[in-house]
Structure formats: C-alpha cells, structure tokens
C-alpha cells in the first residue's frame, strides 16, 4: 500500500483499541483448538475461505494468508498460535495472533506493492518448528525476494519493545525510528534464554525482528497458569498493531534491499 493511500484510507480500515480489546472476551485456551480459532479469526477479519491455506511441514501446520502485491517481493508478518500446556496462552501468544489478524484486516483493503504473507506459526513453543520449516522451504534463489519479516510475540503488558537478541540490527533501528515518528512509546528488551520465530529468518539472511510487550512481571507470567485473558492490557496490543502497521507500510514502499543495507 502506498503511504499516501494509507493516509487517504477510510478510518474504517484501522482497527480501534476497542476492536482489539473485544477480541480478548474469548481466548481459546485449548492448544488443540488454536489453529481453527486462528482461521476463524482471519475469516472474521475478511479473509475469503479460499485465501487461507495450511502449509503442513512434517508435524507442524502453519496457517498462511497471502495478499498479493504488484511484485513478488515479499514481506512476512507472523505470530505463533500455539501455546504451552500451562495457562491460557492469552499473552503468549493470542495477543500476537490478534494483532496479526487485525493487520490483515487493515492491509487487505489496499493494493500493496509487495506481496504480503501473513503466517500463524505452529509449534513455536517446541523449538520454533513452524518458522524453521517455512524458512528451510524457501529455495536459495528466492531468499533475496523476502525483503523483511515482522514477528509479534507476547504483546499485552507494556509498550512495544524489540527483542534485540532475536532481531536484525537494521530492523531494530528501523522500528525505533518508526516508533519515534508515530510517538509510540518504545523500548529495547532482550529476552535472555528465550527465542521466537524471527530467528530462523535472521539465520536465513532475511531481515527480521520480534516485537513484544512484556515487562519484568510479564516474564514471570509467561508459561505459567497466570497467563490468562484478564491479564491482557489491550492498549499494549493496539500499540503493537499500530507500530507493525506503520513499519509494514514503509517497508512496502522501500526498495526490497532497504533492510539489507543495500
Ligand atoms: Zn511465544
């Protein structure tokens, strides 16, 4: 989408904080129900049933929705839909799935330059299984067509932050600049000992970053019985959505090599 198109967009294209908040009235707490719930959410956001596909790689299912662009240059935006056994997985990572689906809802209303690929990753909690499978399946001669990847994992407690240890340096600087421009509060917080679905993209040579919305309290809450919908601060999810949206709008207009320093 052109930036000018974004500015001229009907306000309805943007999801409101209330729209985002409403999603947390019902969070699917059963891991086995999450893939279907992710699909249902995308359908509610306007995805035609035949635009939603499941990419099965061995024992993992990634849910993929493509918004074709003018070119085959590709931007990936993702969030894992699976959860650990404990808790409801509301913060980790239904917040990311909600932001992802609302990004789809907004962006599907534009004609992007680049092809936008929305991915709900499976089995992140078992070692980034879905994102590793997706990146491994990209043929070597296609890697350069992947301009950037934005990953959303565990929003919902504080201002958006970039997990520096899971992100490309250029993408970190870019996220910070966009946040400043939007006047969205923003921080850096590496999450020691943890990983997320941006890392396999970084390792494949694709510029990528993970945005989260955790505070020090949140780190204790993750993977615990206390990860419940009532803990979600919708403002945090909304700000993550707005920051990711602005980043994607700018990446769409930029040369594909922009985040590779070329
Ligand atoms: Zn997670």
Dump pLDDT digits (tens) for 8-20: 455 579 999 999 9
The whole-number pLDDT of residue 136 equals 98
Q: Are 94 and 28 in contact (CB under 8 A)?
A: yes
Percentage with pLDDT > 70 across the chain = 95
Q: Mean pLDDT over residues 184-210, rounded?
A: 92
Tell me if the bond preceding 64 is cis, omega within 30° of 0: no
Cα 124 to ligand 1 centre (Å)? 7
> What rounded mean pLDDT belongs to the chain?
94
Cα 105 to ligand 1 centre (Å)? 22
In the predicted structure, residue 101 carries a pLDDT above the cut 90: yes
DSSP H helices in 68-183 = 95-107, 129-136, 169-182
Cα 113 to ligand 1 centre (Å)? 30
78 Ramachandran zone, left/alpha/beta (phi>0; psi -120 to 50): beta
Q: Which of 131, 130, 101, 118 is nearest to 65 (CA)?
A: 118
| Structural domains for the chain | 3-255 (3.40.630.10)
Report residue 237 CA to chain centroid gap.
11
The whole-number pLDDT of residue 189 equals 85
Cα 196 to ligand 1 centre (Å)? 7
Selected residue with higher pLDDT from 7 and 145: 145
The whole-number pLDDT of residue 11 equals 53
Determine which helix (DSSP H) or strand (DSSP E) holds 146, and give its type and residue range. strand 146-152
Cα 78 to ligand 1 centre (Å)? 11
Strand 146-152, strand 161-162: pairing: unpaired
Cα 141 to ligand 1 centre (Å)? 30
Name every residue whose Cβ is closer than 8 Å to that of residue 14 and which is 6 or more positions away in sequence.
Answer: 106, 245
Strand order in the sheet with 161-162: 52-57, 60-67, 115-121, 74-80, 146-152, 208-212, 161-162, 187-188
Question: 162 forms bridges with which residues in the sheet?
Answer: 188, 211
In the predicted structure, residue 6 carries a pLDDT above the cut 60: no
Name every residue whose Cβ is closer than 8 Å to that of residue 124 and which is 6 or more positions away in sequence.
Answer: 80, 82, 93, 130, 131, 153, 196, 197
In the predicted structure, residue 94 carries a pLDDT above the cut 80: yes
In the predicted structure, residue 36 carries a pLDDT above the cut 90: yes
Cα 153 to ligand 1 centre (Å)? 5
Cα 7 to ligand 1 centre (Å)? 32
Cα 11 to ligand 1 centre (Å)? 31
Cα 154 to ligand 1 centre (Å)? 6
Cα 23 to ligand 1 centre (Å)? 18
In the predicted structure, residue 28 carries a pLDDT above the cut 50: yes
Q: Mean pLDDT over residues 92-103, rounded?
A: 98
Cα 70 to ligand 1 centre (Å)? 32
Helix 95-107, helix 234-253: angle, nearest 10: 40
Whether this prediction's pTM lies above 0.75 is answered by yes
The whole-number pLDDT of residue 5 equals 47
Cα 147 to ligand 1 centre (Å)? 23
- At residue 54, the 3 state secondary structure works out as strand
Cα 32 to ligand 1 centre (Å)? 16
The whole-number pLDDT of residue 71 equals 97
């Amino acid at each position: 989408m052109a930036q000018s198109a974004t500015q001229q967009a009907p306000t309805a294209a943007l999801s409101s904080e209330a729209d985002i908040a409403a999603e947390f009235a019902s969070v699917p707490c059963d891991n086995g129900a999450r893939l279907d719930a992710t699909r249902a959410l995308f359908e509610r956001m306007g995805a035609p049933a035949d635009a939603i596909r499941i990419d099965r790689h061995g024992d993992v299912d990634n849910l993929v929705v493509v918004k074709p662009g003018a070119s085959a240059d590709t931007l990936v935006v993702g969030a894992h839909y699976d959860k650990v056994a404990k808790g409801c997985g509301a913060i980790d990572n239904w917040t990311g799935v909600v932001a992802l689906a609302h990004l789809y809802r907004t962006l599907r209303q534009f004609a992007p330059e680049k092809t936008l690929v929305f991915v709900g990753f499976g089995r992140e909690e078992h070692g980034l299984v879905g994102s590793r499978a997706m990146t491994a399946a990209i043929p070597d001669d296609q890697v350069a067509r992947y301009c950037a990847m934005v990953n959303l994992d565990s929003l919902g407690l504080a201002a958006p932050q970039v997990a520096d240890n899971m992100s490309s340096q250029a993408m970190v600087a870019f996220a910070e600049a966009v946040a400043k421009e939007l006047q969205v509060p923003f921080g850096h917080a590496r999450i020691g000992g943890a990983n997320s679905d941006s890392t396999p993209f970084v390792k494949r040579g694709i510029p990528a970053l993970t945005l989260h919305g955790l505070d020090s309290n949140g780190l204790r809450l993750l993977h615990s019985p206390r990860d419940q919908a009532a803990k979600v601060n919708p403002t945090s999810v909304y700000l993550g959505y707005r920051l990711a949206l602005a980043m994607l709008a700018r990446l769409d207009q930029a040369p594909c090599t922009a985040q590779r320093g070329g």
